[in-house]
Amino acid sequence: MSEHIDIAVNLIGSALEKNIDDVIQRAADQGVSPLIVIGSSLSESEKAIQCCQQHLNQLYCTAGVHPHHASEWHSQSGETLKQLASESQVVAVGECGLDYNRDFSPRPMQRQAFTEQLALAVELKMPVLMHERDAHADFLAIVKEYRSELTGALLHCFTGDRKSMESYLELDMHLGITGWVCDERRGLELAELVIDIPDNRILIETDSPYLLPRSMRPKPKSSKNEPQYLPYISRYIAKLRGQDAEQFSAQTYQNSIDFFGLKI
């Protein structure tokens, strides 16, 4: 059985939280372990750490403030995040970035929270897991300021166009690909672009419980996505790239270990 690491799981504050043990076990049964749990706010990051402490070696997490929660960022947030990120289970700063699609937080506050989190990642010598939606120009400009000092930069759930992909790859960023690529309606452009992501810059993720792959047959009874479905996404991407499925899974598994500095 191939080994996989799901680098973005919304385990806390989502429909998966009620059955964490079952979600972890179903994933492990399919060779998906460990899981990287996303921290989207300071409180959620704290809960993610506590969850990881209860599932050592099965879960790791990020700690950060998503742009949707940027309005919660205040003068002491950086210090709080610094303390959270010092926990051994935390493997990246994030999820941070910009989201101009929903604008749940004012854009100036999004930019401030993003900038301060990148600066913190530099200070702590930690990689950063980022989010960008409909904010390419501002996102790119901010990342450029810090990229040379960051130990690693990952844009998770990449769904952009070729121009944005090329600009991110020029900054030596990693790109996380989800089951969006399996969507025959929305994922056609991504299916073409994924072919051109270098082997050492691609990571795979479910972003569960969101983005259940539409092409799965038979369709899961539940509409919730889970880490257990990551092998399907991996095989689908490998086929698009014309690569052997086992070799592709081994490559992305090692990429994940290297990026997050996991001791497996």
In tens digits, the chain (264 residues) has pLDDT values of 789 999 999 999 999 999 999 999 999 999 999 999 999 999 999 999 999 999 999 999 999 999 999 999 999 999 999 999 999 999 999 999 999 999 999 999 999 999 999 999 999 999 999 999 999 999 999 999 999 999 999 999 999 999 999 999 999 999 999 999 999 899 999 999 999 999 999 999 999 999 999 999 999 988 999 999 999 999 999 999 999 999 999 999 999 999 999 998
> What's the token pair of residue 33?
């372990």
Residue with tokens 């086929």: 239
| CATH topology classification for 4-212+245-260 | TIM Barrel (3.20.20)
Long-range contacts from 158-161, C-beta under 8 angstroms, 24+ separation: 158/190, 159/186, 159/187, 159/190, 160/132, 160/136, 161/189, 161/193
Phi, psi of 14 (to 5 degrees): -135, 180
Break the chain into its structural domains and give their ranges: 4-212+245-260
Question: Does the reported pTM lie above 0.85?
Answer: yes
| Rg for the chain, CA atoms, rounded | 17
Which segments are annotated as binding site for a divalent metal cation?
A: 95, 131, 156, 207
State whether residue 98 is helix, strand or coil.
Answer: strand
Which segments are annotated as binding site?
A: 95, 131, 156, 207
Phi, psi of 198 (to 5 degrees): -55, 150
